[in-house]
Chains A and B, each alone.
Chain A
């Protein structure tokens, strides 16, 4: 590999990185954070501070003393209680047409949801997965847990 090739390769890598940053659009924002709350992004764990922006495929975790409230760009509200894990598996939203797709997974803990513009536009566009169910969200407000059944609580 010649020197100029190396420079070209480096330039290509930085362009790819820049494009990656541009593509990773903000999809939501942390509006409430109490106790321990972290965001796992690309294998790294970052603290979810007030105002932190979220991206598709982020996993939000709360500790035993934690809770978190998130507003999504389509006006959906997600909030989780202690010892919870929410994966923002898929999110796309076109604010001109309101078309989009929003798939979330609750692996453990508790989650309160108010659906937004994506679910209002299409009753099939928003789902929440839990270890025992798929929720089709036609609107608008509900709570869901992944900690065992009624008698367990």
Chain B
């Protein structure tokens, strides 16, 4: 259809050319212009490219405008955005590196996650978790602008309200220890997720040691 319009436009320009002695190059540009006008001027505004996820999760992105939608659901699936809606195409690693190299080079360092478990019956860390805790400090030291999120979790015994409080207490205890070890308080945030994010899925009211834990996220 676009080709038909191009041919049509070329004929129009050929006639014009007889009168005005326009060059061949101009003919092509004018013909393209007429095609664009015929198509309602879908001016390109940008591009969107889905990338492979470094954490292995599946990525999906919806690109929409003016009632049109393109769903990007595999690596390098792409869309050119225009004033009249997106058009899908296949991009590549090389094209992304060329067009987005500087933006990608400025990406902050990925976060690192450390998980700490407690002994049954008391609030002390297990021996393995004590060793894990020690690895957090060199990781913080090597980052130029470190910030740390300490997230407490509980098992499924007790109410949401109780577990939200308990998980935050657990996180705060680890945060306090990190501050005591010299990490600036302003750089550490403590959060409690209660029983919402179990490591081991259980029914309600199950005492599960693997779910009583604290995550330290260094980013």
A51 to chain B, nearest CB (A): 5
Residue B173 is within 8 A (CB to CB) of chain A in the complex: no
B45 touches A141 (CB 8 A): no
* Secondary structure of the B contact surface, majority rule: mixed
B62–A135 CB distance below 8 A: yes
Tell me whether A132 is interfacial, beta carbon within 8 Å. yes
A141 touching B59, Cβ below 8 Å: yes
Output the nearest chain A residue to B87 by Cβ-Cβ distance.
A149
- Residue of A123, A133, A142, A147 most packed against chain B (CB within 10 A): A133
Q: Given A112-B100, A146-B46, A152-B44, does the pair A140, B55 have CB atoms closer than 8 Å? A: yes
Which residue on B lies nearest to A147, using beta carbons? B46
Contact with B along A11-29 (1 / 0, CB 8 A): 0000000000000000001
Decide: B147 and A29 in contact? CB cutoff 8 A: yes
Partner of A68, one of B62, B106, B110: B106
Q: Which residues of B contact A147 (CB under 8 A)?
A: 46
A79 to B168, CA, bound (A): 31
Asked whether, in the complex, the Cβ of B44 is within 8 Å of the Cβ of A141, the reply is no
CA–CA, A142 to B48, complex, Å?
Answer: 7
Known: A81-B106, A130-B45, A149-B46. A110 touches B100 (CB 8 A): yes
- Is A44 an interface residue when CB atoms closer than 8 A count as contact? no
In the bound assembly, the distance between CA atoms of A136 and B98 in angstroms comes to: 25
Q: Would you give the shortest CB distance from A109 to chain B, in whole angstroms?
A: 8
Q: Which residues of A contact B79 (CB under 8 A)?
A: 133
Closest residue to A141 on the B side, CB-wise?
B51
A69: Cβ under 8 A from any B Cβ: yes
Query: In the assembly, what is the distance between CA of A50 and CA of B109, in Å?
Result: 13
Q: Which of B6-14, B21-29, B116-124, B189-197 sits within the interface?
A: B189-197
Task: Using known A-B contacts A133-B79, A140-B55, determine if residue A112 contacts B107 with beta carbons closer than 8 Å.
Answer: yes
- CB <8 Å contact, B108 and A132: no
Is there an interface contact between A139 and B57, defined as CB atoms closer than 8 Å? yes
Interface of A is mostly: strand
- Asked if B65 contacts A134 (CB within 8 A), the reply is yes
Give the residues from 79 to 113 in chain A that come closer than 8 angstroms, CB to CB, to chain B: 79-82, 84, 95-98, 106, 109-112
- Chain A residues, CB < 8 A from B111: 71, 75
Report A52 CB to chain B, min CB distance, Å.
9
The verdict on A151 contacting chain B, using a C-beta distance below 8 Å, is yes
Q: Is the CB of B147 within 8 A of A71?
A: yes
Indicate which residue in A30, A135, A139 contacts B145 across the interface (CB closer than 8 Å).
A30
- A/B interface sample: 15 pairs, CB < 8 A: A51-B145, A67-B102, A67-B105, A67-B106, A69-B106, A69-B108, A71-B111, A79-B108, A95-B189, A96-B193, A109-B103, A112-B103, A131-B45, A136-B61, A145-B100
